[in-house]
């Protein structure tokens, strides 16, 4: 019943989407005006601290459960040592190594939880001072280091638990997500970090609302060709684990349904909106009939496009998220998290059940990974979707009684 999903590797996605933006930014920016923060180490200071880092007093400081001011300063300098390396001219070749080595110190075998927190808090404090650096590579790499700040190591085994992110990182990540003067590649990297906090971390209910509100505001900024940025936001909202903000406004589910319903939006973004709606919790007041109608409209729109040019790799990235919106990748996602339209209630609501009967034949050919592309969707299957739409228009045009949007 449950089919594992094959997701994009983040680095590959970033490389595909952002290489042009990097080149343009590097050509346009003035690299002579920036002043390094006072904590930044010069190349000579970096080399000197590399030796200092292995001194007995440094190792003693890392073990301290009640670090004094001098020991805390040692911890802060360790973080600054790694951040300073991101400022070196060869930074485009260093980030992975820098982040890996930073995490080795964060999880030094005998480091105390208290000193680990000192290192992580210093990253949260100092990364914002690099956000006006003229080189976007530096900014992206600094945010990426922040994204990797964790309080636990990755688990082991067949299905290892991911490391727990350092939730206070959300503060600078939210700031850059909302920063309209920041470049899209940097804002996108910040959203990657917020996605991880929502998905793998334990933020409070109010913190989840704060993150979701920032994501919704960023979505309003991203127009035109920035579909990849909007898709990242839409995916992140699916991990909010709530349908509303702390104000009681159902802004999360309503925003996602607006994206799903927008016929001018890239169909890949709309498909991820369906997936995210299937992941957030639905209170009893949620209008499942309207959601089913809008998902059916999406599948009709994708299918009509696919029939014109079936031999294109994009269609799997459109249909697979829609399939997973009904049936998630893993059984535990359905039974424990209640992800998937078919598992929101037991049994599935009549509207969802009827839609699944006509949606599954359309979606099924695009689920298995294959080197060949499925043929054009048969006209009879498209007609069945259209017949469902014609017979199942929701009378109530709001997704939630407290919502603001009357959907067409």
Neighbours of 364 (CB within 10 A): 13
In whole angstroms, give the CA distance from residue 405 to residue 136.
38
Q: What distances in angstroms separate CA 228 from CA 8, 51, 111, 137, 169, one per listed residue? A: 13, 43, 39, 19, 23
Q: Could you tell me the sign of the dihedral formed by the alpha carbons of 211, 216, 218, 219, in that order?
A: positive
Tell the residue number behind the tokens 């496009």, with chain if given: 305
Tokens of 78: 């360790």
Residue-level pLDDT at 380? 98
- Residue 76 · residue 123 · CB < 8 Å: no
Rg of the chain over Cα atoms, rounded to whole angstroms, equals: 24
- Residue 289 · residue 389 · CB < 8 Å: no
- Residue 174 · residue 211 · CB < 8 Å: yes
Buried b (16+ CB within 10 A) or exposed e, 214-241: bbbebbebbeeebbbbbbbbbbbbbbbb
- Residue 110 · residue 88 · CB < 8 Å: no
In three-state secondary structure terms, 1 is: coil
Closest listed residue to residue 61, CA positions, set 26, 108, 111:
111
Strand partners, 150: 165
Q: Please count the CA atoms within 13 angstroms of the CA of 192 that sit on its side-chain side.
A: 22
Residues ≥6 apart with Cβ < 8 Å to 38: none
Closest listed residue to residue 385, CA positions, set 276, 247, 293, 281:
293
> What's the gap between Cα 207 and its chain centre?
16
Residue-level pLDDT at 156? 80
Residue-level pLDDT at 23? 31
In three-state secondary structure terms, 373 is: coil
Residue-level pLDDT at 93? 52
Residues ≥6 apart with Cβ < 8 Å to 401: 285
Residue-level pLDDT at 96? 67
In whole angstroms, give the CA distance from residue 337 to residue 70.
45
Evaluate the omega torsion of the peptide bond into residue 225 and state whether it is cis, within 30 degrees of 0.
no
> What is the pLDDT tens value at each position of the chain, 408 positions in all?
333 333 223 333 343 333 333 333 333 444 457 899 999 999 999 999 999 998 999 999 999 999 999 999 999 999 999 999 999 876 555 556 899 999 999 999 999 999 999 999 999 999 999 999 999 999 999 999 999 999 999 888 777 889 999 999 999 999 999 999 999 999 999 999 999 999 999 999 999 999 999 999 999 989 888 999 999 999 999 999 999 999 999 999 999 999 999 999 999 999 999 999 999 999 999 999 999 999 999 999 999 999 999 999 999 999 999 999 999 999 999 999 999 999 998 889 999 999 999 999 999 999 988 888 999 999 999 999 999 999 999 999 999 999 999 999
In whole angstroms, give the CA distance from residue 62 to residue 227.
44
Strand partners, 57: none
- Residue 56 · residue 66 · CB < 8 Å: no
DSSP assignments along 232-278, one per residue: HHHHHHTTSS-SS-TTS--HHHHHHHHHHH-TTS-HHHHHHHHHHHH
Residues ≥6 apart with Cβ < 8 Å to 273: 234, 256, 257, 259, 260
Tokens of 99: 């982040």
Residue-level pLDDT at 18? 38
Q: What distances in angstroms separate CA 169 from CA 146, 242, 346, one per listed residue? A: 7, 20, 38
């Amino acid at each position: 019943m449950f089919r594992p999903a094959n997701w994009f590797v983040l680095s590959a996605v970033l490389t595909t989407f952002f290489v042009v933006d990097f080149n343009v930014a590097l050509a346009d920016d003035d690299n002579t005006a920036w002043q390094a923060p006072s904590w930044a180490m010069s190349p000579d200071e970096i080399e000197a601290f590399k030796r200092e880092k292995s001194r007995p007093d440094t190792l003693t400081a890392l073990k301290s459960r009640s670090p004094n001011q001098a020991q805390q300063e040692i911890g802060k300098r360790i973080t600054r040592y790694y951040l300073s390396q991101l400022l070196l001219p060869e930074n485009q070749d260093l980030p992975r190594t820098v982040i890996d080595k930073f995490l080795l110190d964060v999880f030094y075998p005998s480091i105390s939880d208290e000193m680990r927190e000192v290192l992580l808090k210093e990253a949260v404090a100092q990364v914002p001072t690099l956000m006006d650096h003229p080189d976007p590579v530096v900014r992206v790499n600094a945010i990426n280091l922040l994204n990797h700040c964790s309080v636990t190591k990755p688990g082991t085994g067949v299905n290892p638990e991911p490391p727990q992110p350092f939730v206070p990182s959300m503060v600078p990540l939210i700031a850059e997500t909302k920063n309209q003067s920041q470049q899209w590649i940097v804002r996108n990297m910040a959203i990657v970090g917020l996605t991880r906090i929502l998905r793998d971390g334990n933020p409070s209910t109010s913190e989840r609302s704060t993150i979701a509100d920032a994501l919704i505001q960023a979505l309003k900024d991203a127009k035109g060709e920035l579909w990849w940025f909007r898709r990242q936001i839409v995916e992140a909202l699916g991990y909010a684990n709530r349908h509303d903000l702390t104000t009681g406004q159902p802004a999360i589910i309503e925003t996602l349904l607006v994206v799903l319903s927008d016929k001018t939006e890239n169909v890949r973004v709309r498909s991820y909106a369906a997936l995210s709606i299937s992941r957030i919790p639905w209170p009893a007041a949620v209008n499942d009939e309207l959601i089913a109608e809008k998902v059916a409209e999406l599948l009709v729109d994708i299918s009509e496009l696919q029939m014109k040019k079936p031999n294109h790799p994009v269609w799997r990235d459109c249909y697979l998220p829609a399939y997973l919106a009904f049936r998630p990748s893993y059984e535990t996602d359905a039974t424990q998290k209640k992800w998937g339209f078919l598992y929101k209630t037991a049994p599935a609501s009549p509207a969802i059940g009827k839609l699944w009967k006509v949606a599954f034949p359309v979606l099924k050919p695009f689920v298995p990974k294959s080197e060949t592309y499925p043929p054009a969707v048969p006209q009879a299957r498209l007609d069945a979707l259209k017949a469902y739409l014609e017979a199942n228009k929701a009378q109530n045009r709001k997704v939630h009684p407290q919502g603001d949007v009357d959907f067409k």
